[in-house]
């Protein structure tokens, strides 16, 4: 599933390609995604102009000049295809090879002025596209229980310390909890925990203040670097310009089961375990 950095990269790519354009037509070939598309309401977005494209957690928001907002979640296999004026196609993907993107999985098409088309393609149909009144977005059931953004000032030592008191759960479980911090996913949680030399199974109330500072800092550093590198391409992730992310070249633990620890002074081997049904990678020697 695309995590915060990948969704942020897609957001930036969309801003480059469709910001300030006007929707001239909308074609819906399949309204049955995770949630049924409201076709009648969607059609009312025709002739609206895009005012902004933003992100909250793993959600994308396209604000229109008719006081409505399009909310998008890519699910597991959701992707966008941009078709430019010369009919060149640029695709986003995360887990599926781009050659597997078939027209049969194109569910919705936004046709803009300047001969630009945005297509939503989703093999497994776990993603969704909803319309809200812009003023109602903060009260959406998808957002109301989300924790702070990990790159925000709100997510700091004090917030972390305050919210782990007496909590007897694994660190990995805490960071994957979207109510605690929103947007983190399996890849970047594994990487941040490794950089902090913490065990993914440490009970959070037992983490020292020094380690909390280190962990919060590393979470922000990992995400910032991933965004700068264009996200992680795993069977492929591309932005809407067709460019691959390359943060996967910097993985220290994720997907490296059986390989040597990347720390120069460590003789450990990367292990794999399962925590809450998610693969977890760590070095048993330098992560305590």
- pLDDT tens-digit map of 80-139: 988 887 877 777 655 445 555 688 899 999 999 999 999 999 989 999 999 999 999 999
For 18-149, list the strands marked E by DSSP.
23-28, 50-56, 59-64, 68-73, 78-83, 89-91, 106-112, 117-122, 128-133
Task: Pull the structure tokens for residue 103.
Answer: 């027209």
Position 166 pLDDT exceeds 90? no
Annotated active-site residue 154? The verdict is no
Annotated active-site residue 15? The verdict is no
Domain annotation covers residue 194: yes
Query: Are 103 and 130 members of one domain?
Result: yes
Let me know if 277 is exposed, middle or buried by CB neighbors in 10 A (0-12, 13-18, 19+).
exposed
Catalytic residue among 197, 201, 244, 278: 278
Annotated active-site residue 278? The verdict is yes
Domain annotation covers residue 44: yes
Q: Which sign, positive or negative, has the C-alpha torsion 108, 36, 68, 5?
A: negative
Q: What is the CATH number of the domain that holds 69?
A: 3.20.190.10
pLDDT at 229: 81
Q: Quote the number of domains for the chain.
A: 2
Annotated active-site residue 3? The verdict is yes
Q: Residue 163: which domain range?
A: 157-283
- Alpha carbon distance 8, 12 (integer Å): 6
pLDDT at 235: 46
Residue 191: how many CB atoms within 10 A of its CB? Answer: 25
Task: Pull the structure tokens for residue 284.
Answer: 């048993």
Domain annotation covers residue 152: no
Catalytic residue among 11, 58, 229, 256: 58
Domain annotation covers residue 244: yes
Query: Are 17 and 125 members of one domain?
Result: yes
Classify residue 179 as left (phi > 0), alpha (psi -120 to 50) or beta. Answer: alpha
Domain annotation covers residue 43: yes
Domain annotation covers residue 148: no
Taking the model in full, what pTM does it have? 0.89
Q: What is the CATH number of the domain that holds 261?
A: 1.10.8.50
Query: Are 161 and 96 members of one domain?
Result: no
pLDDT at 9: 87
């Amino acid at each position: 599933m695309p995590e915060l950095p990948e969704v942020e990269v897609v957001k930036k790519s969309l801003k480059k390609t469709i910001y300030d354009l006007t929707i001239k037509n909308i074609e819906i070939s399949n309204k049955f995604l995770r949630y049924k598309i409201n076709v009648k309401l969607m059609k009312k977005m025709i002739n609206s102009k895009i005012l902004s494209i933003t992100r909250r957690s793993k959600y994308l928001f396209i604000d229109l000049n008719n006081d409505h907002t399009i909310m998008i979640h890519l699910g597991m296999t959701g992707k966008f295809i941009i078709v430019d004026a010369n009919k060149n196609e640029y695709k986003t993907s995360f887990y599926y090879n781009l050659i597997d993107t078939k027209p049969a999985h194109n569910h919705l098409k936004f046709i803009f002025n300047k001969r630009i088309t945005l297509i939503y393609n989703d093999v497994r149909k776990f993603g969704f596209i909803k319309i809200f009144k812009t003023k109602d977005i903060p009260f959406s059931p998808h957002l109301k229980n989300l924790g702070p953004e990990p790159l925000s000032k709100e997510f700091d030592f004090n917030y972390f310390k305050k919210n782990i008191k007496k909590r007897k759960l694994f660190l990995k479980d805490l960071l994957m909890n979207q109510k605690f911090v929103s947007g983190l996913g399996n890849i970047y949680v594994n990487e941040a925990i490794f950089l902090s030399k913490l065990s993914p199974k440490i009970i959070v109330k037992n983490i020292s203040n020094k380690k909390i500072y280190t962990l919060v800092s590393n979470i922000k550093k990992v995400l910032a670097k991933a965004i700068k590198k264009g996200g992680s391409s795993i069977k492929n992730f591309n932005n809407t310009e067709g460019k691959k992310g390359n943060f996967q070249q910097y993985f220290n633990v994720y997907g490296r089961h059986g390989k040597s620890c990347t720390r120069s002074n460590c003789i450990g081997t990367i292990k794999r375990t399962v925590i809450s049904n998610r693969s977890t990678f760590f070095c048993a020697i330098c992560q305590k």
